[in-house]
Every structure is written in C-alpha cells, then in structure tokens.
C-alpha cells in the first residue's frame, strides 16, 4: 500500500486513469466506474479542470 495517499487521492487517480482510457468520454467513464454521470461531473467540478487529463475538457 502506498503511504501518504488519501482515499480521495486514490479516487482521483483512478478516475483520471479511466478518463484517459475512455479518451475523455465522461458517460463511458461513469459506466466503467459504476457512478451516476451526475456524480462524476460533480466530482470533476469539485476538483477543478486542472484535474482532467491533458486535452480533455
């Protein structure tokens, strides 16, 4: 287990990875993550656009 990582850090890293894999397709990412689309959008809004992989808006 990686020390110094919070659960939110791990959640952000995983969502970031899934967004990269889906080329930024948030609906597809939400399905893969098992999240409601609105929940994914809310998380992204809370974390800010800097959180998104490069080239994804």
The CA distance from 15 to 20, in Å, is 9
- The answer to whether residue 13 is domain-embedded is no
Range of the domain at 45: 23-57
Per-residue pLDDT at 26: 94
The two three-digit tokens of residue 37, written as one number: 């689309």
Domain count, the chain: 1
pLDDT confidence of 49, banded at 50, 70, 90? confident
The alpha carbon torsion through 19, 25, 31, 35 (nearest 10 deg) reads: 60
Give residues with Cβ within 8 angstroms of 31, minimum separation 6.
none
Smallest CA-to-CA distance from 44 within 30, 32, 31 is with 30
Mean of the pLDDT values across residues 35-43?
Answer: 96
pLDDT tens digits, 13-32 = 999 999 999 999 999 999 99
- The answer to whether residue 4 is domain-embedded is no
Higher pLDDT among residues 25 and 49, named by residue: 25
The CA distance from 57 to 54, in Å, is 8
The model carries a pTM of: 0.82
- The answer to whether residue 7 is domain-embedded is no
């Amino acid at each position: 287990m990686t020390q110094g990582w919070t659960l939110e850090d791990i959640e952000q890293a995983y969502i970031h990875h899934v967004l990269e894999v889906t080329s930024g397709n948030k609906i597809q990412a939400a399905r893969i993550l098992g999240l409601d689309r609105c929940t994914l959008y809310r998380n992204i809004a809370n974390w800010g656009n800097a959180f998104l992989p490069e080239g994804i808006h």
